[in-house]
Amino acid sequence: MWHILGAGSLGMLWAARLARIGLPVQLMLRNEERLAAYRQVGGVTLVENGQTSRYPLPAQTLDNPAPIQRLLLACKAYDAEAAVAQIAPRLMAGAELILLQNGLGSQAAVAAQVPGVRCILASSTEGAYRDGDWRVVFAGHGHTWLGDPLALEPPPWLGELSRSGITHDWSLDIVGRLWRKLALNCAINPLTVLYDCRNGGLDEHPAEVATLCLELRELLHTCGQAAAAEGLHDEVLRVIHATAANYSSMHQDVAHGRRTEVAYLLGYACAAAQRHRCTLPHLEALHRRLLDHLHARGLPSQ
Ligand code: NAP
């Protein structure tokens, strides 16, 4: 059974793909109100390549007493710790948690709450968004890396992902991958918010991007992530050009007045730098500017 906590973009995307090859899936919703709203609609809808399919998946609230062996945690990083605290008593001995959260920080906070549970970390380049309640649009095919920093052995169910069309690899350095993605995010997303531009708009700020990449490289080296630092600036430029027409996820969050995951991205990077007494003036100034910007729009900085 795949228990999936959070029927948001990624949660529904995973649920629909697992269910359509006949795997048992159980959605886990926030509360009775959300469950009642879901039951009125009766299923999740996946829009892929212009085609719409509906999946009448079972759902329950977090406080349902049934035990859980495998849980995909598909909420935002800032919701992860509280969500896991709520379902922790339901996790069986030897249970597995798959953590889809972007950035760093939430995974360690979750793992500390559930000793004895195997936490598998994921980093995904897939793109999905909700165009209505219980509807997800699969906007960008991508790849998902999964890994366990504490055990190299892959779990036995990776074949289920292959059969579901969830393209993935087992990574022996998932923390390095998460750091690399975090660094790319720090070099691009905050600037797109501050300049209110698409990713391609950063072409007009090459010196700022280059300076941030230098500091991010220094941070990665300081944090023992030398491999994640390699060729960072080149990849940042490649991403900026390949996604020139897109608005970054952080830009979209701010534009829609939604809370961002800044605390697990640039916030995490700056906290790590401070912990290591590594002075990164441009990264810290960027963080301050971003927090001021969020504050001015009434958005949380955490
Ligand atoms: P999302 O669309 O906002 O979905 C999050 C879902 O979690 C929401 O449906 C929310 O419920 C639910 N949730 C939060 N707390 C809960 C709780 N205690 N119990 C039950 N449900 C709870 O977010 P997302 O875009 O799927 O992103 C999830 C994570 O994946 C993020 O860290 C994101 O950065 C990462 N990611 C996303 C994408 C993408 O394309 N979307 C790509 C790569 C990585 P409500 O609906 O009730 O608020």
**For position 301, what pLDDT does the model report?**
87
- 172 C-alpha to ligand 1 centroid (Å): 26
How many angstroms separate the Cα of 295 from the Cα of each of 200, 289, 300?
A: 26, 10, 7
In a domain, 301, yes or no: no
> Tens-digit pLDDT profile for the chain (302 aa)?
999 999 999 999 999 999 999 999 999 999 999 999 999 999 999 999 999 999 999 999 999 999 999 999 999 999 999 999 999 999 999 999 999 999 999 999 999 999 999 999 999 999 999 999 999 999 999 999 999 999 999 999 999 999 999 999 999 999 999 999 999 999 999 999 999 999 999 999 999 999 999 999 999 999 999 999 999 999 999 999 999 999 999 999 999 999 999 999 999 999 999 999 999 999 999 999 999 999 999 999 88
| Ligand 1 atom having least distance to the Cα of 62 | 19
Return the pLDDT at 72. Answer: 98
Complete edge-to-edge strand list for the sheet that includes strand 44-48: 51-55, 44-48, 135-140, 127-132
Residue to substitute in 41, 76, 84, 126 for testing ligand 1 pocket (most ligand atoms within 8 angstroms of CB): 76
Is there a single domain that holds both residue 206 and residue 137?
no
The reported pLDDT for the residue numbered 302 is: 80
Count of domains forming the chain: 2
Residue 64 and residue 192 share a domain = no
Q: Write down which residue in 172, 190, 219 finishes a domain.
A: 172
Q: Are 25 and 159 in the same domain?
A: yes
**What does pTM read for this prediction?**
0.97
Gap between the Cα atoms of 286 and 283, Å rounded:
5
Of the three residues 121, 150, 172, the one that is the final residue of a domain is 172
Tokens (6 digits) for 137 = 């649009």
Residue 163's SS3 state is: helix
Q: Are residues 205 and 164 in the same domain?
A: no
**Which residue has tokens 């036995």?**
156
Alpha carbon separation from 261 to 63, 101, 104, 183, 300 (Å, rounded): 26, 9, 10, 14, 10
Answer yes or no: do 156 and 7 share one domain: yes
| Residue 41 domain boundaries | 2-172
pLDDT at site 69: 98
Which atom of ligand 1 is the closest one to the Cα of 79?
15
Cα–ligand 1 centroid distance for 210 (angstroms):
32
Ligand 1, CB cutoff 6 Å, lining residues: 5-11, 28-30, 34, 62, 74-77, 79, 83, 100-102, 124, 126-128, 130, 261
pLDDT tens track for 88-145: 999 999 999 999 999 999 999 999 999 999 999 999 999 999 999 999 999 999 999 9
Atom of ligand 1 nearest to the CA of 74: 28
- Name the residues annotated as catalytic: 181
Residue 2 vs residues 24, 183, 240, 279: alpha-carbon distances, Å: 6, 31, 36, 44
Q: Assess if residue 114 is contained within a domain.
A: yes
